[in-house]
Amino acid sequence: MTALHLVWQAAAVLVGGGLLGLVYKGFDRKLAARMQSRIGPPLRQPFLDVGKLLVKESIVPKDAVGWLFKAMPFLAVIASFTVLLYLPWGPFPAILRSGGDAILVLYLLAVPAVAMALGGFASGSPLATVGAQREIVMLMSYEFPLAVAVVGVVWRLATLGGGPAFSLGAIAAAPLWTMVGPLGVIGLAILAACLLIVTPAELSKIPFDIPEAETEIAGGLMVEYSGTYLALFYLADAAKTIAMAALVVTLFAPYGIAGLLGLSGAGGQAVDLLFHLVKIFVVMFAAVTTVRVAMARLKIDQVARGFWLQITAVAVAGLVLLVLDRMVVG
């Protein structure tokens, strides 16, 4: 593969991922509105929002730590778009891949949250400070169950000898469900459920939109951001939504339908890619849109307790089942 080819592919994924993120955000808003018996914004509204933000004045508050305040939106965008490069896209393998990229993706997913928290602290507003503190607590709460779920799956695959260790590419190529015993299937189902619960938390959506909590701290972390910087965070969020949903799909449902339809070649790849995007959409709809419509915002202590005790316990139980499965099946 030539370097030029790689650059071309990367550009396609980055631009495509960004556009897709905004399109999905449009669907998310429209569907949520319909469920709330509202008409909702047009599907292209996220594009209009970003467009408008980009031409608006970007204000840096007097009390803010300027360079940090301005740098963080860029960091968030870079990190969340980089994740897209490490994820396989249906029939197409990831642009960047190596052993252990599953672990790398975990770290990259945490970076936008840290960037937002630092940006919040740097903005010098008490409301943003509260938001930033909450973001950090959130991060510490959901990271462990997230790590358990991801690592559990890739570790089990490694024990079965599938491809390079801790690689997302390997898991996409070899779905685990049929390779493990009954205990393993239960364990995998539990981990999948945990990951779905972590998804809205990772994306700071209701009931976990605590760091931004509009009615409490007026947007929290984001309260001082405007113009281009806010647009960047918006894009980072769109990309992260896609990345998180794609991660769930890659780990637990990396199946294609081209084979079933008897298609091969370019047509098959196109169908599989489309199917992959549909799966991403389904995950987003189930874990983000419906959840945020059906629930009230929780409080930070309720979330921290829930993730540290209940969700972690459930995730560890899933992991234990996988370990037992390894002992039984081998």
Partner 1 sequence: MAETQNVYEIPIGPIHPALKEPIRFTFRVEGERIRGVDIRAGFAHRGIEFMAMKRNLIQTLYLSERICGICSISHPITITLAVERAAGIEVPPRAQYLRVIYSELERIHSHLLWAGVAAHELGFDTLLHLTWKVREQVLDLLEELSGNRIDYALPIYGGVRRDVAPEQIPKVEAMVRYYRGLLDELLDAFLRDPSVEARTRNVGILTPKEADSLCAVGPTARASGLSKDVRQDRPYLVYGELGVKAITPRDYGLEPRGDVYDKAVVRLLEVAQSLDLIETCLYEMPEGEITSFPKIPALLAFLKKAEGEGLGWHEAPRGEVIHYIRLEAGVEEPIVWKVKAPTYSNLMSWVPMFRDQEVADIPIIAASIDPCMCCMDRVHVVRDGSPGTVLKEELLRLSRAKTDRVTRHLSPVPRHGGGL
Return d(Cα 40, Cα 260) in angstroms, integer: 37
Complex with partner 1: residue 84 or 127, whichever CB lies closer: 127
To partner 1, the closest distance from the beta carbon of 36 in angstroms equals 4
- From the CB of 130, what's the least distance to partner 1, in Å? 6
Decide: residue 83, CB within 10 A, 0-12 exposed, 13-18 middle, 19+ buried: buried
CB-based contact 127:216 (threshold 8 Å): no
CB closer to partner 1, 204 vs 250: 204
Q: To the nearest whole angstrom, how small is the minimum distance from the Cβ of residue 299 to partner 1?
A: 4
CB of 202 to partner 1, least distance (A): 18
Smallest gap from Cβ 211 to partner 1, in A, equals: 11
Nearest to 105 by CA among 239, 208, 210, 8: 239
Nearer to partner 1, 37 or 178 (CB): 37
Nearest-approach distance from CB 264 to partner 1, in angstroms: 45
Q: Which is nearer to partner 1, 2 or 37 (CB)?
A: 37
Closer residue to partner 1 in complex, CB, 118/130:
130
Q: Which CB atom, from 261 or from 301, has the smaller least distance to partner 1?
A: 301
Interacting residues with partner 1 (CB under 8 A): 35-38, 124, 126-127, 129-130, 133-134, 206-207, 209-210, 213-219, 293-302
Q: How far is the CB of 68 from partner 1 (least distance, A)?
A: 13
By beta-carbon proximity to partner 1, the closer residue of 137 and 153 is 137
Quick one: 266 or 296, whose CB is closer to partner 1? 296
Provide, rounded to whole angstroms, the least separation between the CB of residue 31 and partner 1: 12
**Which residue(s) pair with 84 in the sheet?**
none
Q: Which residue carries 């799956």 as its tokens?
A: 153
